């Protein structure tokens, strides 16, 4: 049986130091894909945007700068509160978002209770995944 851990939160899209736009977001973790974490922005819109990256990257980014390339994460402070900063880059553009650190840390703690770091491999169902890849779809 696979479990999903989700947490809705308010992200902030940083357009400039003076202009920050609130964006509804949701963190998701599925034990069926134990290495991955997802964040979906604009969750209540008709065009949500989802980014998938290593859960380990987000966990490291709560405490120190982590990542290179498309997803970079680091701790910060804004308005006197602790945040997790996330820089996202794609061929369509770049974005800087901040997330409340307490919400991210609490969600990460729940995911790590479900699948402790280092135990992800035990949760992978490689036989089923291979069967799905190698079995032609019914026509």
43-76 pLDDT, tens digit each: 888 999 999 999 999 999 999 999 999 999 999 9
Q: What CATH code would you report for 4-134?
A: 2.30.31.20
The answer to whether 65 and 72 have CB atoms below 8 angstroms apart is: yes
Q: Spell out the domain ranges in the chain.
A: 4-134
pTM metric for this prediction: 0.83
The answer to whether 35 and 18 have CB atoms below 8 angstroms apart is: no
Model confidence band, residue 22 (pLDDT cutoffs 50, 70, 90):
very high
The answer to whether 49 and 95 have CB atoms below 8 angstroms apart is: no
Has residue 139 got a pLDDT over 50? no
Residue of 13, 32, 33 lying closest to 23 (CA atoms): 13
Model confidence band, residue 126 (pLDDT cutoffs 50, 70, 90):
low
Scan for tokens 């987000």, then name that residue: 58
């Amino acid at each position: 049986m696979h479990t999903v851990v989700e947490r809705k939160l308010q992200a902030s899209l940083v357009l400039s130091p003076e202009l920050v736009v609130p964006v509804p977001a949701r963190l998701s973790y599925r034990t069926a894909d134990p290495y991955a974490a997802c964040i979906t922005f604009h969750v209540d819109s008709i065009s949500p945007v989802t980014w998938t990256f290593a859960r380990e990257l987000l966990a490291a980014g709560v405490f120190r700068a982590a990542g290179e390339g498309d997803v970079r994460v680091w701790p910060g402070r804004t308005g006197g509160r602790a945040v997790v900063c996330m820089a996202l880059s794609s061929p369509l553009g770049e974005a800087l978002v901040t997330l409340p650190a307490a919400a991210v840390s609490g969600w990460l703690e729940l995911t790590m209770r479900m699948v402790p770091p280092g135990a992800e491999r035990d949760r992978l169902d490689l036989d089923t995944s291979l069967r799905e890849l190698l079995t032609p779809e019914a026509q």
